[in-house]
């Protein structure tokens, strides 16, 4: 058996299904999008068997992109779960044949509830297609399955229509990157869009500071108490005067015979890179990564006063 050839054959079959879908989408899809965007309540998406798996994924995509959506199993719907459907909802039913008994069985109740119904099907003459407000045709001529039985090309087409509806609704609603992050706080995308330097910076005892006249021993003591191998030098008004890192300490050891006479102002780097409170952490991370010189800490300022220290290791640990 030509395994690679078989794999490519399946891909080509599903590619053809998507091309046919692209060539046949019409104003019914526009009507479906408008119905979804103007939905007063929520979307309820349902499908049986493989279409049910696709429906569940489509519901998840809508929910994560700014449109309230839930999945309802049609068989469970027939036994009480229809109670989640209310007037003002839009119900999307997925069935390639359009003749699924479980899906057809939902119609009387859905009609009585007075919700809007969108059907995604490959059969425009089906029962479901003839009892809905909007029908979207997924014209799959042949499944990718060698027996032309297992839902393959048809489920790909249905999933693509679901993605197209969700993404188009997302654009119309002007769903932003920050909105997306709010719904994905645990993922890397969410962290990069939500976290600000305030959320990750060291403060209080974890953010050691010294004064310009502090001695070498005081600087070493302050750095050793912290966890970031650096200390900020500030004046009496907490305004930044410089930064001392472990590198600066080692340089002082090498270049000065009498360390006892050294003060913080003699060791500090006088023009350190800083960042303002409220800045997105990802901007700070990119600033550190792209710095021509090693940059592992950033003093955080508010109204020109030092309020914390941001460490590269903390940003990496957070998953940015």
Neighbours of 224 (CB within 10 A): 10
| CA of residue 12 relative to chain centroid, distance | 30
Give the C-alpha separation, 131 to 229, whole Å.
Answer: 70
Please check whether residues 161 and 284 belong to one and the same domain. no
What percent of the chain lies above the pLDDT cut of 70? 94
CATH of the domain at 294: 3.10.580.10
Q: Is residue 188 part of a domain?
A: no
Please check whether residues 68 and 155 belong to one and the same domain. yes
Please check whether residues 305 and 199 belong to one and the same domain. yes
Give the C-alpha separation, 92 to 28, whole Å.
Answer: 13
Q: Is residue 189 part of a domain?
A: no
How many domains are there within the chain? 2
Tokens read off for 88: 């003002």
Residue 49 pLDDT level (bands cut at 50, 70, 90): very high
Beta strands 90-94 and 116-121: pairing type? parallel
pLDDT at 279 over 70: yes
pLDDT at 90 (0 to 100): 97
Q: Is residue 186 part of a domain?
A: no
Q: Which residues pair with 15 in a beta bridge?
A: none
Helices (H), strands (E): how many in the chain? Answer: 15, 11
Q: Is residue 184 part of a domain?
A: no
Residue 122 pLDDT level (bands cut at 50, 70, 90): very high
Please check whether residues 134 and 215 belong to one and the same domain. no
Rg (CA), the chain: 30
Give one DSSP letter per residue of 189-249, joined into a string. HHHHHH-BHHHH-B-GGGS-EE-TT-BHHHHHHHHHHSSSSEEEEE-TT-BEEEEEEHHHH
Contact 89, 43 (CB under 8 A): yes
Give the C-alpha separation, 268 to 5, whole Å.
Answer: 66
Instruction: Quick: pLDDT tens for 229-254.
Output: 888 999 999 999 999 887 877 777 77
Q: Which residues pair with 206 in a beta bridge?
A: none
Among 148, 175, 202, which residue terminates a domain?
Answer: 175
Q: Is residue 56 part of a domain?
A: yes
Please check whether residues 266 and 146 belong to one and the same domain. no
- Rounded (5°) CA angle 222-223-229: 160
Please check whether residues 63 and 161 belong to one and the same domain. yes
Of 276, 215, 279, 285, the closest CA to residue 244 belongs to 215
Please check whether residues 310 and 230 belong to one and the same domain. yes
């Amino acid at each position: 058996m030509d395994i690679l050839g078989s794999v490519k054959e399946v891909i080509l079959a599903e590619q053809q299904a998507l091309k046919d879908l692209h060539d046949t989408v019409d104003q019914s899809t526009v009507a479906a999008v408008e119905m979804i965007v103007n939905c007063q309540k929520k979307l309820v998406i349902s499908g049986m068997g493989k279409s049910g798996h696709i429906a569940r994924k489509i519901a998840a995509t809508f929910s994560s992109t700014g449109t309230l959506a839930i999945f309802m199993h049609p068989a469970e719907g027939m036994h009480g779960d229809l109670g989640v459907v209310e007037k003002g909802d839009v119900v999307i039913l997925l069935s390639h044949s359009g003749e699924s008994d479980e899906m057809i069985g939902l119609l009387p109740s859905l009609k009585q509830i007075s919700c809007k119904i969108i059907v995604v099907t490959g059969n425009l003459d089906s029962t479901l297609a003839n009892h809905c407000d909007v029908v979207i045709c997924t014209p799959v001529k042949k499944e990718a399955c060698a027996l032309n039985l297992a839902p393959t090309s048809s489920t790909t087409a249905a999933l693509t229509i679901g993605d197209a509806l969700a993404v188009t609704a997302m654009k119309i609603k002007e769903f932003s990157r920050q909105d997306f992050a709010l719904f994905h706080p645990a993922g890397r995308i969410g962290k990069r869009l939500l976290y600000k330097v305030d959320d990750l910076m060291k403060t209080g005892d974890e953010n050691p500071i010294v004064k310009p006249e502090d001695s070498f021993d005081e600087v070493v003591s302050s750095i050793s108490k912290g966890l970031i191998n650096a200390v900020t030098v500030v004046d009496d008004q907490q305004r930044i005067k410089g930064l001392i890192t472990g590198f600066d300490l080692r340089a002082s050891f090498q270049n000065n015979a009498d360390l006892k006479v050294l003060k913080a102002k003699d060791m500090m780097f006088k023009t350190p890179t800083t960042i303002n409170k409220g800045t997105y952490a990802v901007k700070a991370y990119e600033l550190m990564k792209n710095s021509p010189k090693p940059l592992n800490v950033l003093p955080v300022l508010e109204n020109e006063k030092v309020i914390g220290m941001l460490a590269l290791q903390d940003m990496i640990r957070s998953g940015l």
